[in-house]
């Protein structure tokens, strides 16, 4: 009896070690996989083809419980409940998102622009803003741009349009690399692009 138990335990150990050593998996067919994970849909299979990522609500992702060890995780956000804040600050519409080690990022595509309007006083620009519509009619209003502390991605561009009768100066002029620029002038449009190091450049102004 003891020999039988020992034999079974040994076989299970060998099988377990073999599974660990041969970690490649084929799903949907009985064959050697061509990658770490291969999903196969064979002709004649009545099951719908495709891979479904975990379906989650936005509120589940804004709890800041993901870490750098989950970098590359993919989910499908189906419900926009809860706030677009924390690690979920970029989630503005349903769709596929991946975790970049700090926040959730969309896969791109036809996601709508995030338009903020109608700003009539001092405003702190959000890293998720794409277009900011201003109507500044009283002096002394200040515009604060995001930077490294807000995880602003290099290359991020924001379009500003001021239809008001007053200029809007940046709260921190050192954020603009261009000499001679101070913010968004009255009756004008401009586009700023982030280049890292808490620095923005003006790509256009009118």
Residues 136-192 have pLDDT tens digits of 999 999 999 999 998 899 999 999 999 999 999 998 888 887 655 678 999 999 999
Average pLDDT, the chain: 83
Are 92 and 84 in contact, with CB atoms under 8 Å apart?
yes
Least confident of 43-47, 52-56, 156-160: 43-47
CATH number of 115-205: 2.60.120
| Angstrom distance (rounded) from CA 70 to CA 64 | 12
* Tokens describing residue 70: 């989950």
Higher pLDDT, 111 or 102: 102
Helices (H) and strands (E) in the chain, counts: 2, 15
Average pLDDT over residues 50-60: 92
Q: Which pLDDT value is given to residue 59?
A: 92
Q: Which residues pair with 161 in a beta bridge?
A: 133, 189
Looking at the chain, the domain(s) classified CATH 2.60.120 span 115-205
């Amino acid at each position: 009896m003891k020999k039988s138990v020992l034999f079974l335990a040994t076989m299970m150990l060998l099988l377990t070690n073999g599974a660990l050593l041969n970690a490649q998996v084929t799903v949907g067919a009985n064959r050697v996989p061509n990658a770490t994970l291969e999903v196969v849909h064979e002709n004649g299979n009545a099951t719908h083809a495709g891979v479904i990522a975990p379906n989650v609500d936005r509120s589940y992702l804004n709890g800041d419980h993901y870490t750098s060890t989950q970098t590359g995780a993919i989910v499908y956000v189906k419900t926009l409940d809860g706030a677009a804040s924390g690690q979920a600050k970029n989630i503005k519409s349903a769709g596929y998102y991946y975790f970049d080690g700090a926040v959730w990022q969309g896969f791109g595509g036809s996601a709508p622009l995030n338009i903020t309007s109608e700003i009539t006083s001092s405003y702190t620009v959000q890293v998720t803003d794409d277009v900011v519509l201003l109507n500044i009619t009283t002096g002394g209003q200040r515009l604060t741009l995001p930077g490294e502390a807000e995880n602003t991605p290099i290359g991020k561009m924001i379009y500003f349009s001021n239809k008001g009768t007053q200029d809007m100066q940046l709260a921190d002029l050192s954020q603009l690399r261009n000499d001679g620029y101070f913010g968004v002038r009255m009756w004008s449009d401009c586009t700023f692009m982030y280049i890292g190091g808490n620095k923005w450049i003006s790509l256009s102004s009118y």
